[in-house]
Amino acid sequence: MVGTPPELERGTGVPAHVQIERWLLDSVDRGELAPGDRLPGERELAGRLGVSRMTLRQALATLERDGVLVRVPGRAGGAFVAEPRIECDLTGLAGFTEQMRRAHLRAEARILVAATVPAPAAAARALRVEAGSPVHEVARVRSAGRSPIALERSFFPSLPGFLGQDLTGSLYALLATRYDLEPRTAVEHLDPVIARPEEAAELGIEPGAPLMLIERTAYAADGMPVEFARDLFRPDRVRISVRSGVTAPAGS
């Protein structure tokens, strides 16, 4: 639970709402407030801080925008500490399972679709097969912690026995160990989109909420395409990062 409120400093040039934001952020960093904890009601908290509810709401709105708090309307609602965002580094070709392992979280998967289907046009182009030819489609809701994080939809070549394997773990590890088709490179495109009703229902968010779409084609060492994917990530739960560097010109 939130600790003793600070004595807000007046006349320092730092607005009261900024001091409140810093205090709450420090409380989260020190572990005094944990994910899922509910803050006191606005009237109570504003009284303890000696500020107006408008000033408090300004601080809470900023923390909500930054993903520190989640505010839920209604009598049973309030302001809750959000789950921390998970860093996903696209620099290497690590799948969701590996990304969660790096974050010291256990990846979970709920399978929505696992079937051999006629290849849609985009998947056919990426996998270099004829449109309508058989490919394997696997759609999964991926979670870590208390809530869903991503909705994955992948298409794979029509590999024998693929759908009979355990599809709840790393599919990249499956490609590598059973088929000697370890993904080694990928081309990925990122686009902001909004959640359609069916996607929102699977991810536990409101329709129209922002999502990050990552469209990916992964290739084995010999250049063979082994996956075409369209993954939807919740930006309130995941932060996408890419590392870059400068390559020295030849002869320098």
> Which residue among 81, 114, 137 closes a domain?
81
Non-local CB neighbours of 208 within 8 Å, separated by 6+ positions: 194, 195, 200
121 and 171, same domain (yes or no): yes
| Packing angle of the helix pair 53-65, 42-49 (nearest 10 deg) | 110
Task: Check residue 113 and give its pLDDT.
Answer: 97
pLDDT digits (tens, 9 = 90+) for 54-105: 999 999 999 888 778 888 777 777 888 887 777 777 776 667 777 777 766 6
Task: Check residue 69 and give its pLDDT.
Answer: 86
DSSP state, 162? G
Alpha helices in the chain (DSSP H): 16-29, 42-49, 53-65, 96-102, 121-127, 171-179, 197-203
pLDDT digits (tens, 9 = 90+) for 211-221: 999 999 999 99
109 and 206, same domain (yes or no): yes
177 and 194, same domain (yes or no): yes
110 and 148, same domain (yes or no): yes
- Reported as type and span, the H/E element at residue 51 is none
**Looking at residue 55, which CATH number applies to its domain?**
1.10.10.10
pLDDT digits (tens, 9 = 90+) for 145-158: 667 989 999 999 99
pTM: 0.71
- Tokens at 149, concatenated: 């994080």
- Span 174-191, average pLDDT: 95
130 and 65, same domain (yes or no): no
> Which residue among 81, 98, 124 closes a domain?
81
- Tokens at 30, concatenated: 């020190």
Distance (Å, rounded) from C-alpha 57 to C-alpha 63? 10
74 and 119, same domain (yes or no): no
Say if 5 falls within a structural domain: no
Q: What is the 3-state secondary structure (H, E, C) of 65-81?
A: HCCCEEEECCCCCEEEE
Query: Residue 140 above 60 pLDDT?
Result: yes
Which residue range is the domain that position 70 belongs to?
16-81
96 and 220, same domain (yes or no): yes
Long-range CB pairs of 195-198 (<8 Å, 24+ gap) are: 195/232
Query: Residue 250 above 60 pLDDT?
Result: no
- Span 97-121, average pLDDT: 85
40 and 130, same domain (yes or no): no
Query: Residue 2 above 70 pLDDT?
Result: no
Task: Check residue 116 and give its pLDDT.
Answer: 98
**Looking at residue 174, which CATH number applies to its domain?**
3.40.1410.10
Say if 218 falls within a structural domain: yes
